[in-house]
């Protein structure tokens, strides 16, 4: 069985989707981008899920605010694009992606999961507090504490007691941008979460196109993700 993959339009924004060539209905997984957008690494993750029988959808969640395809500097992306993306907009666009997956008949929203990386790791926590349909979420090295802004008023730690589904957090013990103390505060506050810290991994340890890639942590994290989805009815 082959894979059907490529770009679609969901409302006002593009999204990359991948699924096996079958009528379904298939479990749905929302794949939330790194700070660099829905680039080839995120697209490959979607195809990886498709090979396992999922309908994977990765919306371009800050397409309205700007195109980051040619940007490589984190600070430039944050200043010019990410800081202008309202959390409420992101939640609405993810809801729209779920509705799109359901409306086409290929997706089974009773088996809905989400995973996010880097910038998307923070979103994974927020969406788990927002959505009543989500069965399970996995946050890869997403920031859990940040200063409030008008567009991004709450951090994952602020909503730790409001999670509506189980969340698995995967973090690196050598992540220079997300201190272990911060992750431990999230662990203590989120009763519906399980957090794994890989002592020798840094930020971006799943990103096999970057020097930060840690194959041992990446392999273990992926296995834990699949087990998490199955355990909570999202597979």
Give dist(CA 109, CA 55) in Å, integer.
Answer: 10
Candidate list 93, 118, 130, 165, residue with the active-site label: 118
**Is 203 assigned a catalytic role?**
yes
Task: Identify the CA nearest to 49 among candidates 29, 22, 26.
Answer: 29
Omega within 30 of 0 (cis) for the link into 25: yes
**Residue that the structure tokens 């880097």 belong to:** 118
Beta carbons of 47 and 19 less than 8 angstroms apart: no
Give dist(CA 57, CA 97) in Å, integer.
Answer: 7
Task: Identify the CA nearest to 133 among candidates 213, 41, 232.
Answer: 232
Give dist(CA 46, CA 83) in Å, integer.
Answer: 26
Residue burial 11-27, b: 16+ Cβ < 10 Å; e: rest: eebebbbbbbeeebbbb
Q: Which stretches within the chain are classed as H helix? A: 40-51, 74-80, 87-103, 119-130, 180-189, 215-231
**Is 118 assigned a catalytic role?**
yes
Candidate list 203, 208, 216, 227, residue with the active-site label: 203
> Strand, helix or coil at 53?
coil
Q: Which two tokens stand for residue 28?
A: 């749905």
Q: How far is CA 13 from the centre of its chain?
A: 17
> Which active-site residues does the annotation give?
118, 175, 203
């Amino acid at each position: 069985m082959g894979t059907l993959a490529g770009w679609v339009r969901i409302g006002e924004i593009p999204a990359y989707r991948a699924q096996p060539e079958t009528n379904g209905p298939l479990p749905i997984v929302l794949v939330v981008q790194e700070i660099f957008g829905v680039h080839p690494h995120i697209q490959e993750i979607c195809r990886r899920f498709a090979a396992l029988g999922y309908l994977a959808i990765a919306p371009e969640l800050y397409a309205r605010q700007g195109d980051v395809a040619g940007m490589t500097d984190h600070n430039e992306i944050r200043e010019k694009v990410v800081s202008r993306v309202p959390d409420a907009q992101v939640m609405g666009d993810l809801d729209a992606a779920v509705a799109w997956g359901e409306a086409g008949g290929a997706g089974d929203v009773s088996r809905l999961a989400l995973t996010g990386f880097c910038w998307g790791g923070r979103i994974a926590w927020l969406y788990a507090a927002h959505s009543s349909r989500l069965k399970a979420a996995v946050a890869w090295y997403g920031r859990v504490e940040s200063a409030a802004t008008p567009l991004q008023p709450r951090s994952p730690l602020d909503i730790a007691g409001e999670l509506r589904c189980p969340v698995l957090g995967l973090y690196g013990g050598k992540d220079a941008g997300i201190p272990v103390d911060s992750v431990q505060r999230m662990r203590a506050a989120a009763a519906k979460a399980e957090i794994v810290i890989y002592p020798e991994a840094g930020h971006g340890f799943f990103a096999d196109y970057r020097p930060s890639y840690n194959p041992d942590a990446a392999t273990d994290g992926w296995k834990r993700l699949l087990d998490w989805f199955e355990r909570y009815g999202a597979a």
